[in-house]
Amino acid sequence: MSHLFTPYDLGPLRLPNRIVIAPMCQYSAEDGCATDWHLIHLGQLALSGAGLLTIEATAVSPEGRITAGDLGLWSDETEAALGRVLRAVRQHAAMPVAIQLAHAGRKASSHVPWRGGQLVPVAEGGWQPVAPSAVPHAAHETPPDALDAAGLQRVIDAFVDSAQRAHRLGIDAIELHAAHGYLLHQFLSPLANHRTDAFGGSLENRMRFPLAVFDAVRAAVPASMPVGVRLSATDWVAGGWDADQSVVFGQALRDRGCAFLHVSSGGVSPAQKIPVGPGYQVPLAERLRAEVGLPTTAVGLITEPEQAEAILAAGQADLVALARGILYDPHWPWHAAAKLGGQVTAPPQYWRSQPRGLSALFGETAMGQR
């Protein structure tokens, strides 16, 4: 059997295969509330046959949004809106669902990407971002406010509240966003964290707040709900966060009951120099898997089924995540199963779409149709 189509357990959560749909921001919420766009978007992906669907970066507070269009889970209204979408999706798809909980930090109050993505000043309808230090993401931007002790506690409380709401909604797993230059990554990286208190300076101090957030979330939801972390394993900037530090952070997370690592990179500095190419982040996942020992997801320009299969067969990762590739081809898992001899779950309304010679693609239940 193909490695890609072998079931995998994230603690108590069984995934039917090793294909993960990565969280992908849609910038289409209204005051944090999921809309019909999310119903269409998530509904389509939930029929893809992947092993796990991860809801996009979901802000734990209004000021933690990247843009005014970000999805949120900080109030009864945002919880109800996402619940409506999930109820509709689950009527037709049994795919496990995770959610990525996030706070944008100094990258908050930005335009949506198709309007340029630049910082929106308060005078133009934006809001004041907060961060570890009063250091802007780009030199020309207005500095964020540095979080004080009360602000740090508010952030922790917001993550806990959102996690509890996710559990009430029946979401299967939580991924904390500590990558791509957002708040938890900002604390980790010396490029963004210039603090001189217990949360800045040494590696131990820079890890302290992200670990406190993890501990609080892990304690706030049942053990049956896996809690993992997405991290940028390197800033791709000299003097920034790097793979050596990521190993130490991963080991600390492991010791606290972290269920998985989702390994990405970059995002904290405009000075980054990323050597983009097929599977360019896979070696980072491979190292963390070997030295941390947690279930590890690789992501980043993994586009071909044979490529994904080879990553798993070589032990470079336990799971493979798709983002832009599955937006381009929402039936990527179907096509991968056809190439690799696997099976996927598909709705009965689609069973007759199987090409001749692939009668087992959707499993035995789809065979023998008139």
Residues with a known catalytic role: 182
Residue 130: strand pairing partners: 145
Distance CA 299, CA 312 (A): 12
Indicate the pairing of strand 319-322 with strand 130-131.
Answer: unpaired
Indicate the pairing of strand 13-15 with strand 8-10.
Answer: antiparallel
Distance CA 353, CA 366 (A): 10
Which tokens in the block code for residue 279?
């599977």
Q: Which helix H or strand E contains 59, and what residues bound it?
A: strand 52-59
For residue 91, give every residue at least 6 positions away whose Cβ sits within 8 Å of its Cβ, in sequence order, or none: none
Buried b / exposed e over 220-236, threshold 16 CB at 10 Å, is bbeeebbbbbbbbbbbb
Angle (CA) 113 119 123, round 5°: 125
Alpha carbon separation from 146 to 9, 58, 183, 241, 323 (Å, rounded):
40, 22, 11, 20, 32
Q: Which of 174, 93, 38, 171 is nearest to 344 (CA)?
A: 93
Going by the DSSP 8-state scheme, the letter that residue 236 receives in this structure is S
Alpha carbon separation from 301 to 281, 286, 322 (Å, rounded):
8, 15, 8
Residue 231: strand pairing partners: 178, 263
Distance CA 182, CA 253 (A): 18
